[in-house]
Amino acid sequence: MRKALVTGGASGLGVACAQRLTRAGFAVSTIDRAEGADGKVDVTRREEVDRFVAEHGPFDVLVNSAGVVGPNADFVDVSAADWDRTIAVNLTGTFHTCQAVIPGMVAQGWGRIVNIASIAGMEGNPRLTAYSASKAAVIGLTKALGKEVATTGVLANAIAPAVIETPMNATTHPDVLATLVEKIPMRRLGRAEEVAELVAWLASDACSFSTGAVYDISGGRASY
């Protein structure tokens, strides 16, 4: 049975991806810094990631869903600490988990990595500069990595969702959410299950000629 590792697996898209991959026949391990996942792992801490992968790997699939939205503030008011934390979780966390699983995937000649970026990383969202920068960097990492491992059987792709109904947006002001929905031609929030469907395909044998790519899932919002 193939094994999948889902980060951020205690909430939102991580839960939906774990459930969908389980239905697809994977033995799924979830990690999160919060309670509710199989392993209590902070992806910013390399030693915690390495320990979990050594104990539970090697993994055939990695889904990077752990993330924080970071400061929702004017750029000039973003503190260095908030900036660093957003980059540490969203970008460095992805670096840590990818580095931890890739040797095992390459050794077995098959692997699928799916990094959950954001449309904010493609378009840039005002007052979400740290988040947008971190997700743009995840996209850059994925593009470069996907090409680098292209002949090994390991495929690395990213997805760029627009706003999805998850706990991440539970405290977002209704007016802000309404503005985000207004930008979406389908005029609704996305559902976690819809994102998990795309992730499951990218994690499967059906995805076979795609690496270093970014998949839009935005209800038509993308303008790039």
Ligand X SMILES: NC(=O)c1ccc[n+]([C@@H]2O[C@H](COP(=O)([O-])OP(=O)(O)OC[C@H]3O[C@@H](n4cnc5c(N)ncnc54)[C@H](O)[C@@H]3O)[C@@H](O)[C@H]2O)c1
Ligand Y SMILES: O=S(=O)(O)c1ccc(CO)cc1
Return residues touching ligand Y (CB under 6 A). 69, 118-120, 125, 128, 131, 162-163, 168-169, 172, 180
Contact 160, 222 (CB under 8 A): yes
Contact 162, 219 (CB under 8 A): yes
Select the binding partner of residue 94 from ligand Y, ligand X, none (C-beta < 5 to 8 A, by kind).
none
Of 5, 10, 100, 184, the residue at the interface with ligand X (CB under 6 A) is 10
Select the binding partner of residue 39 from ligand X, ligand Y, none (C-beta < 5 to 8 A, by kind).
none
Interface region with ligand X, contact rule CB under 6 A, candidates 5-13, 72-80, 105-113, 198-206:
5-13
Select the binding partner of residue 12 from ligand X, ligand Y, none (C-beta < 5 to 8 A, by kind).
ligand X
Number of H helices, E strands in the chain: 8, 7
- Within 10 angstroms of residue 34's Cβ, the number of other Cβ atoms is 12
Tell me the three state secondary structure of residue 164: strand
Tokens 């985000």, located at residue = 180
Annotation says 131 is catalytic: yes
Of 2, 4, 11, 211, the residue at the interface with ligand X (CB under 6 A) is 11
DSSP code of residue 41: -
Select the binding partner of residue 116 from ligand Y, ligand X, none (C-beta < 5 to 8 A, by kind).
ligand X
- Which residue in the list 26, 59, 131, 215 is annotated as catalytic? 131
Of 34, 144, 150, 176, the residue at the interface with ligand X (CB under 6 A) is 34
Do the bridges between strand 39-40 and strand 61-64 make them parallel or antiparallel, or are there none, so unpaired? Answer: unpaired
Q: Which H helix or E strand runs over 180?
A: helix 174-182
CA end-to-end span of the chain, whole Å? 38
- Judge if the upstream peptide bond of residue 167 is cis by omega within 30 degrees of 0: no
User: What is the footprint of ligand X within residues 147-186 (CB under 6 A)?
Assistant: 161, 163-164, 166-169
Contact 117, 67 (CB under 8 A): no
Which residues share a beta bridge with 188?
none
Of 66, 87, 114, 137, the residue at the interface with ligand X (CB under 6 A) is 66
In the complex with ligand X, the residue whose CB is nearer, 14 or 146, is 14
Of 44, 86, 142, 211, the residue at the interface with ligand X (CB under 6 A) is 44
- Within 10 angstroms of residue 211's Cβ, the number of other Cβ atoms is 22
- For residue 104, the minimal CB distance to ligand Y (Å) is 32
Q: Which residues are catalytic?
A: 131
Which positions lie near ligand X, rule CB under 6 A?
A: 7-8, 10-14, 32-34, 42-44, 65-68, 89, 93, 116, 118, 161, 163-164, 166-169
